[in-house]
Amino acid sequence: MASALRPLRLLLLGAPGSGKGTQTARLLKQFPQIESVSSGDLLRQQIKAGTPLGQKASLYISSGKLLSDELITKLIITNLSNRKWMNSSASWLLDGFPRTVKQAELLDAELGRHSAQLNLVVQLDVPENVILERIENRYVHVPSGRVYNLTYNPPRVPGKDDITGEPLTKRSDDTYEVFGKRLKEYRRTVTPLIDHYAKSGILEKVTGETSDIIFPQLVKLVSEKFGE
């Protein structure tokens, strides 16, 4: 059921495979006035289009490394500006950015110039053994960023996107080896980032292993803090 919202500027934080993309899709359905940007989806679209940025991103992504703070921040801020989100009362959500303190500081400075600071950060806390099981079964539709899982939310027709019927693919960074590196990068960067947002008093954490546990907590947080 859709509900009204005061302007929400939300960051979803969490380990690779914790369900940021999945929870984003569910929140957008529940609150149609929210829009979202995923740094990973933007990069995968650039790779698919074969742009110079995509070629560079491909090297980092396929080896499980983070792109430079300056490069990714420029990409996201340009995207936010093009959508005119910083100069309006729009409600929006970021998935996958910022993920270092440097990125958070650069974003804070830019949003501060527009009096449009983030007003909620939610950390999705999912045990690593649960995450590893999920990744083996993940398939994606790159143009839209839609995410499937062969056991949790399989496509209606095997191998095809539910909306467009286009083929689904496996991500190049979902191999056992690269996924391990991504988890390591996350563990290295997350604590300072959490500390950064805890200081500004906008950090919340939701913990759980299943969709039925995480999603209601997220809806409650958004409704309580931003519902009208």
Active site residues: 20, 99, 138, 171, 182
Number of residues that bind ligand AP5 (CB under 6 A): 35
Instruction: Name the residue number minimizing CB distance to ligand AP5.
Output: 40
**Which tokens belong to 43?**
């990069």
Is 150 a known ligand-binding residue?
no
Round to the nearest angstrom and report the end-to-end CA distance of the chain. 14
Is 180 a known ligand-binding residue?
no
Is 98 a known ligand-binding residue?
yes
Binding segment for ligand AP5 (CB under 6 A), chosen from 13-21, 161-169, 198-206, 216-224, is 13-21
In Å, what is the CA distance from 205 to each residue of 22, 109, 222? 17, 24, 13
Shortest Å, Cβ 89 to ligand AP5: 25
What 3-state class would DSSP assign to 203? strand
Of 30, 169, 211, 217, which one interacts with ligand AP5 (CB under 6 A)? 211
The alpha carbon of 12 is separated from its chain's Cα centroid by a whole number of angstroms, namely: 6
Alpha helices, DSSP H, located in 114-175: 128-136
Q: Is the separation of the CB atoms in 114 and 6 below 8 Å?
A: no
Distance between CA atoms of residues 141 and 157, nearest Å: 13
Shortest Å, Cβ 107 to ligand AP5: 10
Distance between CA atoms of residues 190 and 96, nearest Å: 12
Task: By CB under 6 A, tell whether 14 contacts ligand AP5.
Answer: yes
Binding segment for ligand AP5 (CB under 6 A), chosen from 37-45, 81-89, 115-123, 197-205, is 37-45
Of 17, 47, 91, 203, which one interacts with ligand AP5 (CB under 6 A)? 17
Task: By CB under 6 A, tell whether 67 contacts ligand AP5.
Answer: yes
Residue nearer to ligand AP5 on the CB measure, 31 or 97: 97
Task: By CB under 6 A, tell whether 149 contacts ligand AP5.
Answer: yes
Distance between CA atoms of residues 174 and 21, nearest Å: 15
Q: Where are the beta strands (DSSP E) in the chain?
A: 9-14, 34-38, 91-95, 120-125, 138-141, 146-149, 203-207
Of 5, 16, 91, 203, which one interacts with ligand AP5 (CB under 6 A)? 16
* Contact residues for ligand AP5, defined by CB under 6 A: 14, 16-22, 39-40, 43, 60-61, 64-67, 72, 96-97, 99, 103, 134, 137-138, 147-149, 152-153, 173, 182, 210-211, 214
